[in-house]
Structure 1
Amino acid sequence: MRAAVTPEAESAIADIAQRHSLSQDAVFAMLVAVNNGGGTMAQFSIPELGGSGQWMRGGMTMVGNMFDNGLKARVDGLCRELSQLLATTTVFPPMATADQRGFTSNNWWPADLGSPSSSGAQNNARYAIFPNARRLAVQTGGVTRVYDTGEHRIGGVQQQQGGASGSVNFTSQFGTFDVSSLSEIGSPPQPQSRTQPQAPPTQPQAPPTQPTQSPPVPAQRPLAGISDADAIVAAIESLAGLHQRGILSDDEFSTKKAELLGRL
């Protein structure tokens, strides 16, 4: 049973499925994957599109058959259209979550975050994920905190057995993590002591025989945008993960890596 979408999004999914000769379930699965990737990338496993694969806005598309260029073009066209749909349409309605007493409440997170891609509760903590804003809201003990997810593309919540109250682990392209590794939005900076003693050196240091010169900074080619460079780096990291898991051969990994590096 798939998650609810707005009537406008439901109509768009039906239209896209018909034009791309796909089932609505396949289009919806890809829509969720693109949404989890912040609208710029997707990791998916859809039988109608060749099984497992990856897409990144800017030209990087991987499918089960690395040499099926027709399927690559089909996936790229579908993902581009779904990315545009997410950017122009409210796809997922605000989700209601239930507390321990069984009551539900909407929008316990800050209103300026909009609608999350997913939300839920685990270990007496609520969470809501906002990939487009790169934000994660967590509520424990009635206190809501918002975190900057940075480059994490959260794909799910790590199930915990007997976890500590209020603890939630998430999964992204970098693996499993918790909020202790994220920066809290609006938290005051940690005070720094002005009287920190410095340990004396254990051995006297000889003065340098010649002045140290900074190495010249190599010229760099202008980039189309920092987001494109970050996207290419993220794509290479994803390729490395597939290579380590044996999904990509050495030759396939080297070929795609060289192609991506050539765009920097």
Structure 2
Amino acid sequence: MKVTMIGSGYVGLVSGACFADFGHDVTCVDKDERKIEALKAGKIPIFEPGLDNLVSSNVAAGRLAFTTDVKAGVAGADAVFIAVGTPSRRGDGHADLSYVYAAAAEIAQAITGFTVIVDKSTVPVGTGDEVERIMREANPNAEFAVVSNPEFLREGAAIDDFKRPDRIVIGGDDPRAMAVMREVYRPLHINKSPIVEMDRRGAELTKYAANAFLAVKITFINEIADLCEKVGANVQDVARGIGLDNRIGSKFLHAGPGYG
């Protein structure tokens, strides 16, 4: 399948390289000319173990390409992933969705034939609805469907997380779009990675719910660490004692710096 990544940052580049390694024809698009030229020259702008080899091998195989041209990158794609930044705004802390919405407007003018538009960026609930509205307004004749497919990658283990995920969350209600997404992730499904399908807003909220729950575990064990210091207990013993309970689990029960 032909897959396009809008945004060649951490999520876009890792996801694009992994999709190419699955055998898809992937184009990563970014407006930063220096970043694209560096990638074409084999220079990776971020540090992620194994990413340089993954990128170089798939570029050599002709499955991975880089461009600044949105129109050329999107034309003919089966699925276009929006993986641009959504930084917190100064003052109110809300997610800045201007990059997502700008990408949506450009994509609408570039797609040819039925295309699945995939929100990969971390976005507030309801963003998919607004992306759809913007695209309809920008190009009333465009044939597309918007789905949500949140990422759950850990820095330093992103490639392994992508290729061996706990689950793949896909949110949408268009049968054609869901069929395309199943095909995009078919190599993972063959390897028994569960695909969890739901509506679009449910998928958007799943990302925030997961982040919030992990933040709770980190904050909780740090509070327990403070308590251990006061009563003379070893927090690692306590963490192991509660982590072996299947209802709790041992992950993210390591006292240390707070989440961020």
**Fold agreement, TM-score > 0.5:** no
TM-score normalized by the length of structure 2 = 0.27
Task: Name whichever structure is richer in helix by fraction.
Answer: 2
TM-score normalized by the length of structure 1 = 0.27
Task: Name whichever structure is richer in strand by fraction.
Answer: 1
Structure with the bigger RCO (C-alpha within 8 Å, sep 6+) is: 2
